[in-house]
Structure 1
Amino acid sequence: MEKRYIKWFEDISLKDIPEVGGKNANLGEMYQHLKPIGVNVPNGFAITSEAYQYIFDFNNLWKPLEKLLHHDLVVDDINSLQKISKKCKKLVNAATIPPDLADEILDNYAKLKTQYGEKLRLAVRSSATAEDSKEASFAGQNETYLNISSKKALLMAYKQCIASNFEARSIHYKHANHFDYLKVFVSVVVMKMVRSDKATSGVIFSIDTETGFEDVVFISAAYGLGENIVQGVIEPDTFYVHKPTLEAGHRCVLKRRRGKKEKKMIFAAKNNNKFSSSKYTKNIDVTQKEQNRFCLSDDEVLLLADYTMKIEHHYSNLLGVNTPMDIEWAKDGLDGIIYIVQARPETVHSNKDKLILETYKLKQTGTIVTTGNAIGTKIGTGSVRLIQNTQDLKKFKSGEILVANTTTPDWEPVMKRAAAIITNHGGRTCHAAIISRELGVPAIVGTKNATEVLNNAQKITVSCAEGEIGNIYDGTLDFEVTRTNLKEVQKQPIKIMMNLANPDLAFSLTSLPVDGVGLARMEFIISTYIKAHPMAIRHPEKLNKKEKAALDQLSTAYQTKEEFFVTTLSEGIATIAASVYPNPCIVRMSDFKSNEYANLIGGRVFEVAEENPMIGFRGAARYSHPSYKEGFELECRAMKRVRDEMGFTNVILMIPFCRRVAEGKQVLDTMAQYGLKRGENNLLIYVMCEIPNNVISIDEFSKIFDGFSIGSNDLTQLTLGVDRESEIVAFDYDERDPGVLEMIKMAVLGAKRNHRYSGICGQAPSDYPEIAKYLLDIGIESISLNPDSVLNVIQTLNTLQQTKKPPLPV
């Protein structure tokens, strides 16, 4: 029999979208071109859009559908939308599949069985002719049916896929994206179903989903069928892989976060003659042991990253422009193979103007009601509208903040009118996250308790501008939006760098016109993510029962507590380094004060009380000391991993609060013992210049260190003899004092004299632009600023350089 309405993946490419739809075209493109180079793609075939039109012609459906959609429908009226949708689907469901088309579908089903065997289960998926394009993703708009294993079920699933083209959500999505309701046809995918119900599945983006940072692969993963991730039922595990270092041969995960993964979707019945997967799946509890570990091994994460880069590279070459990708993957629990089951061009960040930098910043602080995963980087304010079910959607008013357990594709008409979206469940690739990005609406997902702690009509502020964790504040807080045309930012005669401690903020700052990170403080990572004293990691036997339990919980996904510390610290630092790679990232070794160390888990055991910890047992003095040497070894192991294993040789290490040259030599000897030898693998080691003796003895310090970063905070304190934490004498603390400026000048000139790097990472240039100009005039190599000061200081420097007289004496 002549093949008329079927095309196999091996015969399909992107040029066939009008005939087979976006999903089929992408599967065919990958099966033809990427499977031969090692990307596993299941085989299958497309039932073409011609078949869709044939069914509509055969059953005379066009005119009644045109009347319903073009004359009777009021698209922004939810009642009308649902009523018309129901009538359209009833017409399609009552239609007959022409006998010759049914025969052709079943003949090709039999052919697919010859490849995979009689036990083959099918995935039957809608593939709209406008779907998975760069203009619109059609995420979740049309139906998919899984676990199909009979002829009857296949034909029923096929017709249901066609009918789903008229779901209320799909009709409204077409309207919102300016597609004609009757000109978006549906082809259908029939392919081998990957048995992820017995393993894992997830979603990948070849770009950071929130910031558009293009140098990373972002992977989400959970147990069982992927629907739980899309629906936002669970919080998945997430992983980042850095593309440039992976291409260079460094096979390491950049960053990871363990999700709860408390539910696993599996099939509830054999489904031999059924077609509605939603009715024949169920969620089961995931054991605590499985929840406590990552559901993917590092090798599996890196395999997925390799697949992703191959897919992105292929599409970018094919389309002639860099093309970030949105990818679905699944691991088959029967054959153990990881498959790519869909890929499409990413539709949010790839369509943005990358030369316009838009930053949101809160101008007030408030009480945090709850937190979750931040989607996007915007801020929204408004009144809460709790949505318990679809009936509540009718009460929603434009400008309100939608708060729900989860969202579904049916809610999209309401979501577009929201000031912000909040859900109890979900990760960064769930439906609420995907749609809110497309709509440009700030969202916080996975709060766990939003519907319990927020009340209808309550005024709140939703902030996604503070990193990966989104904060929900009580009340309406004032915020500002700054839009900068990066074309207009002038290059400075010195390097402008930024101070950065929080890895979760790193990717959101990659658009800033900086030359690297001038100060990455590891204390933030230790206190926020590790939370335990480094010596407690080495000696957990000294902790009390409560402390041991807390440390056990934190490190549960790792084989040892030391692995937890080294991996967490190294991935935090590497994330910061990745955001500016290959530009330099200067990482300061830990500089907690004894009272700050004492607040960490187990800190009470290993710290003594000091009257003035600000000038006490801190910085270099600790590193070789018996009471901390084992903790410093862990820090060194983490930094060695960052540079040697993870490939971030742009990381420069820096020693803080080094009082004497002899102390500096001792620290360098200790670091060398732990594998961090100055000069090896091009390792540079700087020292903080923040003690008057660093300035006075700069020639001697220059013999053992590669550069100096001026810490104006401590240098001011110790030059003026003012405790910077004392409110009583705060009026005497001023970095602009002539004595402090002279100290800074001596340090810069001393570094120049010895051919050493000089920079400043203290607060002064961020607070006082005239100091930034003074530093430029005395010839400092770099100024490191707080991120929110970068653009202002650059603009001020542009202005000051046009004046004849410097604002401060040089």
Structure 2
Amino acid sequence: MSQNVKWFNEIGIADVAEVGGKNASLGEMYQNLTSEGVRVPNGFAVTSDAYVHLLDANNAWKELHEQLDNLDVTSVDALQTAGKKCRDIVYNCEIPADLKSDILSAYEKLKEEYGENLSVAVRSSATAEDSPEASFAGQNDTYLNIATADELLDAYKRCLASNFTDRSIHYKYDNGFDYLKVYLSVVVMKMVRSDIGASGVMFSLDTETGFKDVVFINAALGLGENVVQGTVNPDAFYVHKPTFNKGFRTVLKRSLGSKEKKMIFTDTINLDNIAVEYTKNIPTTKEEQSHFCLSDDDVMVLADYAIKVEKHYSEKAGYHKPMDMEWAKDGNDGHLYMVQARPETVQSQKHGNILEVYHMQESGKVLVTGQAIGTKIGQGKAHYIKGVEELDTFKAGEVLVADTTNPDWEPIMKIAAAIITNKGGRTCHAAILSRELGIPAVVGCDNATEVLADADKVTVSCAEGEDGHIYEGILKYEIQKTDLSNLPKTKTEIMMNLGNPDLAFSLSSLPVDGIGLARMEFIINEYIQAHPMALKHPEKVDDETRAKLQELTEAYSSMEDFFVKTLSEGVATLASAVYPKKCVVRMSDFKSNEYATLLGGTTFELKEDNPMIGFRGASRYAHPNYEEGFALECAAMKRVRDEMGFTNVTLMIPFCRRVQEGQKVIDTMAKYGLKQGENGLEIYVMCEIPNNVIQIDAFSKIFDGFSIGSNDLTQLTLGVDRDSEVVAFDYDERDEGVKEMIRLATEGCKRNNRHSGICGQAPSDYPEMAEYLVRLGIDSMSLNPDSVLKTIENIGKLEKSLGR
């Protein structure tokens, strides 16, 4: 058996020393997962023994030692000079005859399997690659669409030479590897024709928060290098693993990337040209940019692959092992293939029960926004670097601003306070390396280099959800550290209020008993942006508004489909953060003046003098002016529960004035497929109008539970508009009359065996109100996330003193 070449069916994860991380993992998947439906292209490894054999046969070790033994890696000039000489030494080596014969024989055998027109991918596979401590992301070269024996041998040598790229040398230095002890194996595998398909990267957890219940997929048209290197803003998809494993096949959440270009193969290859190019980028069409590059069915196939890969590697390791994977869709056969899998190297290395949360303490002028990488905050002087020739001008502690970062830039990335790029998604190498380095980064900003070119000091915040914000100046922030192992378990359920899906995964680690108030309004305002009735009846709005609606919904099959999918995915994302714990979702509670601000809203909304007590909440749902809009809300919530599998979602009706109105809403929901009790559906009502308290026995006959909205209950009990500057001083949720209302409501729930909760500001703002509620025996309190930990501590002490 040849020591130079090993086929995928001969190697596995235990063979890293011989074939490198990439080959070992491909062999592992090929041997163990193809029988489970995971497609892996066949191929072979040219081993690390072959690498040593080639350097031995050419007496190259001595020359390499001369370049590397006394190298000052911190000197950019010295690194660049030594790196080029080392690459030349290796590339100029002759391939020994036996090695050449073995490679070409294996290539011919692969052609027997796939046909004479086979092209192959030739990829580097380092023997220290993909260890849990270091990913070696993007350190070595890959050559695609190799279609002749001469091209294959040339690409093989180029891969070996890339063991000494500047970035690879520096990376070895940073991670304590001996430059000459990291051997290189090479992958030769069937080329998946993603140049006429799509490709990307996926993780079996959320890369920013470590939330382990999702698969995260980035996708772009063409070859995968654009996604990996961060030169395009890709489409993004999330799939929820627990519901997927129960048989539900839906996208949890998606975002459309601009995908400005795609990488395809070049027509001609000149092997005499030192700067050999096998690929090129071309612009994508407007049609390609405005639609997702994967179907939902494709996303489900990839999620299935990711779950199976993670399960296999976890079982093999004996512990949960999140994975970082590359995939490609072949434009010829339409199939999806796994082309790489490695251990995730950042979130999986975090241990302990210390919750570290960064909070901005000041607000300021937002200069640029993009996708947040990590959840930290960084500050410093902005420094725009145009290209590799300017790297030596960058100083430690500055904020790196670039169009896109190449892995060659790793020496300056590690000393940056933060990183900002125009391009890239959450799975590009720049994002992976910034996570590995523990440095906040904001990618995909589009115009960062333009806006920040002359900026002075900036604050880069990744602590406000999925959007990263670059603020002008140095702003104050704090780092809150909590030892979760010391928190008590309270008898009173502590839940959180949450309306922004972008914060859901980052808050999933909070030790709460669920979400007590998930507001629809944020999702409608921020993601849908259009009035439901305008989407239902675009023919009733003016031409300009209709054009905007069409642009907004272009990626979807219809305007109604856009509303239903966007709302359902937003709500499901909130529910996923606490699954299978309860998530109480309040149906829309916009006031008429707020609805009017949505796209097309003025066509459908009446002007009211006092919208706070006007056409809002339950009164809208069965009314001819809005029933069709409510039907869309119901369709979205039915999708969340029945199609997406989030039966932990309880629905709640706001501002329900009378019992008869409540019954009418229940009947209307049933009409649109949300039948109380069916599939475990519970329907709560907000207890926020004095009549809800006075008639709580009657309301209890039609609703399954109550959530006290202390904000509106206070206003309506005291007759105070808290937004009025003249009388706002009289607004106080601690007033004895308000407290009496809350007591009567809580006792009424107990009397009728109904759930009692509170989701207003009171327990978040006033510890004494939280204590009052505990003494009343309320079932749950839903708090703002920043109040949760302190309230748990306080209530734990109180319950202990009360002997509970």
Which residue of structure 2 aligns with residue 781 of structure 1?
779
Partner Cα separation in structure 2 for residue 153 and residue 218 of structure 1: 35
8 Å contact from structure 2 (residues 401, 420) kept in 1: yes
Structure 1 counterpart of 2:191, which letter? M
Query: How big is each residue's C-alpha offset from its partner over 1:45-96, in whole Å with a ceiling of 9 and x where there is no partner?
Result: 001111111112112222232232122x111111111111112112112211
Structure 1 partner of 2:717: 719
Tell me what 1:97 maps to.
Answer: 95
Separation of aligned partners in 2, 1:746 and 1:406: 60
- How big is each residue's C-alpha offset from its partner over 1:559-599, in whole Å with a ceiling of 9 and x where there is no partner? 11000000000000000001100000000000001110010
For normalisation by structure 2, the TM-score amounts to 0.98
Residue type at the aligned position of 1:54:
H
Structure 2 gap ranges (5+): none
Instruction: Give the Cα separation in 2 of the matches to 1:267 and 1:802.
Output: 69
The answer to whether the aligner puts 1:284 opposite 2:273 as a matched pair is no
Give deviations 1:728-785, integer Å, cap 9, x for gaps. Answer: 2111111111111111111111001100000000011110111111111110111100
Which residue of structure 2 lines up, in the alignment, with residue 758 of structure 1?
756
- Equivalences for residues 405-804 of structure 1 within 5 A: 405-456=403-454, 458-801=456-799
Query: Counterpart amino acid of 1:434?
Result: I
Which residue of 2 is the match for residue 154 of structure 1? 152
CA distance in structure 1 between the aligned counterparts of 2:803 and 2:184, rounded to whole angstroms? 70
Q: Distance in 1 between matches of 2:536 and 2:16?
A: 59
Within 2, Cα distance between the matches of 1:233 and 1:186?
A: 27
Aligned-pair distance for 1:227? 0.8
Q: Is the 8 A contact 1:233 1:425 kept in 2?
A: yes
Q: Does 1:298 align with 2:287?
A: no
> CA-to-partner distance for each residue in 1:457-480, whole Å, 9 max, x for gaps?
611111111111111111111000
State the shift of 1:800 in Å. 4.3
Deviation of 1:483 after TM superposition, in Å, equals 1.4
- For 1:612 and 1:642, how far apart are their aligned partners in 2? 34
**Does 1:30 find its partner at 2:23?**
no
Distance verdict in 2 for CA 1:805–1:647, change over 3 Å: closer
Aligned residue for 1:777, secondary structure, equals: helix
Aligned match of 1:317: 315
Give the AA of the match of 2:677. G
Give the distance between the partners of 2:764 and 2:408, measured in 1 at CA. 48
Match of 2:56 in 1: 57
For the 8 Å contact 1:148–1:275, the answer to whether it is kept is no
Moved more, 83-92 or 659-668: 83-92
Deviation at residue 293 of structure 1 after TM alignment:
1.0
Name the CA distance, whole Å, in 1 between partners of 2:272 and 2:119.
12
Residue 632 of structure 1 aligns to a residue whose secondary structure is helix
**Match for 1:67: what amino acid?**
E
Indicate conservation of the 8 Å contact 2:22/2:125, yes or no. Answer: yes
Q: TM-score, normalised by structure 1?
A: 0.98
Aligned partners of 1:744, 1:77: CA distance in 2, in Å? 69
SS of match in other structure, 1:95: coil
SS in 1 for 2:202: strand
Within 5 Å, which residues of 2 pair with 1:300-379?
300-379=298-377
The residue type equivalent to 1:694 in the other structure is N
Moved more, 140-149 or 346-355: 346-355
Aligned residue pair count? 804
Q: Is the Cα contact below 8 Å between 2:233 and 2:425 reproduced in 1?
A: yes
Give 4+ residue runs of structure 1 displaced > 4 Å after superposition.
272-278, 799-806
How has the CA–CA distance of structure 1 residues 267 and 359 changed in structure 2, closer, same or farther, with 3 Å as cutoff?
Answer: same
Quote the residue 1:183 is aligned against: 181
Could you tell me whether the CA contact under 8 Å between 1:148 and 1:274 is conserved in 2? no
Offset, 1:277 = 9.2
Q: Measure, in 2, the Cα distance between the counterparts of 1:804 and 1:123.
A: 69
Equivalent position amino acid for 2:329 in 1: K
Q: Which residue identity is paired with 2:443?
A: V
Gap change, CA 1:354 and 1:253, over 3 Å in 2: farther
Work out the CA distance in 1 between the residues paired with 2:662 and 2:468.
Answer: 41
Question: Offset of 1:354 from its aligned partner?
Answer: 4.9
Shift of 1:276: 8.1
The CA deviation at 1:273 is 5.5
Verify: 1:21 aligned to 2:20, yes or no.
yes
Matching residue's letter, 1:706: D
2:711–2:733 contact (8 Å) kept in structure 1 = yes
Equivalent-residue separation in structure 2 for 1:556 and 1:718 (angstroms): 43
Q: In 2, are the aligned partners of 1:157 and 1:275 still within 8 Å (CA)?
A: no
Retained in 2: the 8 A contact 1:147–1:277? no
Residue pair 1:154, 1:275 contacting (<8 A) in 2 also = no
Does the residue aligned with 2:41 lie in a helix, a strand or coil?
coil
**AA partner of residue 339 (structure 2):** V
Partners in 2 of 1:120 and 1:200 — Cα distance? 19
Cα 1:429–1:726 shift into 2, 3 Å: same
Cα distance between partner residues in 1 of 2:492 and 2:799: 12
Maintained 8 Å contact 2:193/2:329: yes
Equivalents in 2 of 1:389, 1:749: separation in Å?
68
Pair 1:238–1:649, CA change in 2 (3 A): same
Deviation at 1:283, TM superposition (A): 1.4
8 Å CA contact 1:145–1:275 kept in 2: the answer is no
The answer to whether the 8 A contact 1:147-1:271 is kept is no
Amino acid at match of 1:713: N
Q: Secondary structure at the match of 1:582?
A: coil
Any unmatched runs of 5+ in structure 1?
Answer: none
Letter in 2 for 1:131: E
SS at 1:708 equivalent? strand
What does 1:132-281 align with in structure 2 at a 5 Å threshold?
A: 132-271=130-269, 279-281=277-279
- AA partner of residue 604 (structure 1): T
* 2-structure distance, mates of 1:38, 1:805: 56
Question: What letter corresponds to residue 322 of structure 1 in structure 2?
Answer: H
Q: State the secondary structure of the residue aligned to 1:118.
A: coil
Q: Hey, what's the Cα distance between the residues in 2 that align with 1:233 and 1:85?
A: 25
> 3-state DSSP class of the match of 1:701?
helix
Does 2:46 match 1:47? yes
Aligned position for 2:5:
6
Per the alignment, in what secondary structure is the counterpart of residue 479 of structure 2?
strand
SS of structure 2 residue aligned to 1:174? helix
Which deviates the most, 398-407 or 284-293?
A: 284-293
Give the counterpart letter for 1:719 in structure 2. T
Contact 1:197 1:225 in 2 (8 A): yes
Please say which of residues 353-362 and 12-21 is displaced more in the overlay.
353-362
CA distance in 2, matches of 1:284, 1:65: 38
Whether contact under 8 Å (1:358, 1:482) holds in the other structure is yes
Preserved contact between residue 270 and residue 276 of structure 2 (Cα < 8 Å): no
CA distance in 1, matches of 2:494, 2:3: 63
Cα distance between partner residues in 2 of 1:474 and 1:537 = 38
Partner residue in 1 for 2:119: 121
Deviation string, structure 1 residues 390-426 (Cα, Å, up to 9, x no partner): 1211110100000000010100010000000000111
**In structure 2, how many angstroms separate the alpha carbons of the residues matched to 1:478 and 1:792?**
22
Q: Distance in 2 between matches of 1:367 and 1:474?
A: 6
Looking at structure 2, the residues matched to 28 and 293 of structure 1 have their Cα atoms a distance apart, in angstroms, of 35
| Residue aligned with 1:666, SS | helix
Q: Aligned AA for 1:28?
A: G
Rounded to whole Å, the distance in 2 between the matches of 1:475 and 1:278 is 45
Q: Is the 8 A contact 1:157 1:276 kept in 2?
A: no
Q: 1:4 deviation in Å?
A: 2.5
Tell me whether 267-276 or 340-349 shows the greater mean CA deviation. 267-276
Q: CA deviation at 1:455?
A: 3.0
